[in-house]
Chains A and B, each alone.
Chain A
Amino acid sequence: MRSFPFFFFFVGLLVLTSCSDPVSDVGLDLLEDETSARIETIAPTSFSASSRVDLTAQAPRVLVGSVDDPVAGLISASGYIDFEGTFAGSPSEEITSARLIFTQDYSYGDTLSTVEFTLHQILSEWDASEVESSSSLRTSEAIATTFVLGNRTIIDLPESWIQEHEDDLKSTDFENAFHGFALVGSTGDQVLGFNTRGSTSTFELTSASGTTSYTVSSTYTQVDRMSPAQPPSGFLLFQDGSGPGIEMIFDFESFDSEPINGAIFSFPAFTLTDFPTPDHFVRTAPDSLQLFAVPMDESIQPFGIAVARMDEGAYRFASSILSAFVQNLLFGAQEIQHLELRAPPANHSLDAILFHSKDSGDFAPTLTMILPP
């Protein structure tokens, strides 16, 4: 086969001349409806208050006080704080003073009301990862009583208490020897929040060699709803901390195995400030909410799938992760009991908002799906 070198030349030429061109729009008219994306919007088959107990431990804020909200009901809150650190002086030094310093960063209720709370010592070890907002911890009799005036609250502990607990306070094993304080509201129509991030709230001990500052290691707020919420007809109350939360079910089976480009959950809301409230009454709406999925398999913890901020009267959840999650539901790759709205723990509060019920027409919560042509 003497001719094959020349054949390679010829084939090589063809390889070089082979090429591709840009995409065309010629022929679109023959595709008809195969070029238009579709929008399908459905309302939940179920949209109701959930009995889920909020996790309020390890939040960067503790709440204290009680408030009688004409819409959300009567709620009281008690804060629990533990500290960590090492005594700066020598073991033989006497502690001359001990004080707690709190910085307020949240208020809910009658802002003209003065909040008085009592300080207690927590008597037993507690694990912040296990307590829920309905849990209570064993505490001592009141150590001190104080009023909250202004943003900064300082509580000087009695000398007798210092002398009684001096060994624990100076102990090299302070974290295990001492279990923290409880702040229990006694009077006032307001719930206050104390920031526990960094050094905004500290436990200071003074001795001959200076001041030792213990910083917050664990927090927890016990929230008790003393009377039920009374939301207006056609609305569901969502309240951080105390609950209720919101749980919902959508009929994903009607889109069985459909591919989607996107899924947008929209929850039109009515801020409580739009309702008549007493003068000087402050009630804020959650700045952001989380959409949680509760798996069918109860051995799997619920997990967050999206976060949304309040925007023009609604919380709208839209993200590629959320769309992929819904796509998995449609494919049957994931099964859930229901979805839930939750408040992010990072913004621990008693913020409240009213959601329109599922029968509210244009204001009803919806799931909008964008489907490819």
Chain B
Amino acid sequence: MAARIKIPFVLLLLPMLTGVVFDIKEFAVHDGPGLRVTVFLKGCALRCSWCHNPEGQSPEPQMLRGTAGERLAGVTFSSQALADRLNSLASLLRVGDGGVTFSGGEPLAQADFVSEVIDRLDGLHVVLDTSGYAEESSFRKVAAKSQLVYFDLKLIDAAAHLAHAGVDNQPILRNLHVLAKLGIPFVIRVPLIPGVTDTQANLSAITRTVAGLPGLQRIDLLPYNKAAGAKYAACGMVYRPTFDEGRESKVNLACFKSAGLKVRIL
């Protein structure tokens, strides 16, 4: 008898997806408008040599060992449990004209999970912070449920992208155009990596790629932070930048301005 009663519950529970999250950050001031909570989803296909969240790369939970002890990066949440946690802050986030940002890692590597969490949110404003590297269907699914997308563009040159970020950039560029067609407001974010992404050629190529796309709000340039390598040792990894860290990043904003694009350096 007992077993027969249990089965329907199990069936009810099965459809609820689980996801792996490596951090949930309150008052994330860089991740969208207003008072925000950012959920960092674990796992990313890219291997940007400047990545400063190395614990976001592997999809598996992993132990970080720092001077202050150990911390497990990677907690498994059911979509309802994560939504409950975010919803518990809903009234405060609404007072603060803010909401939830999904970042990572690459949130779209767990697109079905993220999508299900968004469905269970209490009407909160959603920002998707993505590398753009995802299946088109995954991208559509989550972007369509977001109110704003932060879309990273690193390198337009395919070979350079493969060399520095470890993957082909074609899916990224495709999804950028998918995004533009969806009509959802978005911000292009460009990490300024000395000699890699901050070159005149690359910035001009980015300008040509994004100029005139419907929904584009502005371009955010994110200067390279020399603390990027800080967490590698704790992850048992070695930081191997593919560029000269010490080089000053010199950026000419003229190409953005002449294309009429709004640009900010953060």
* A and B: interacting chains: no
- Chain A residues with CB under 8 Å of chain B are none
B residues apposed to A, CB below 8 Å: none
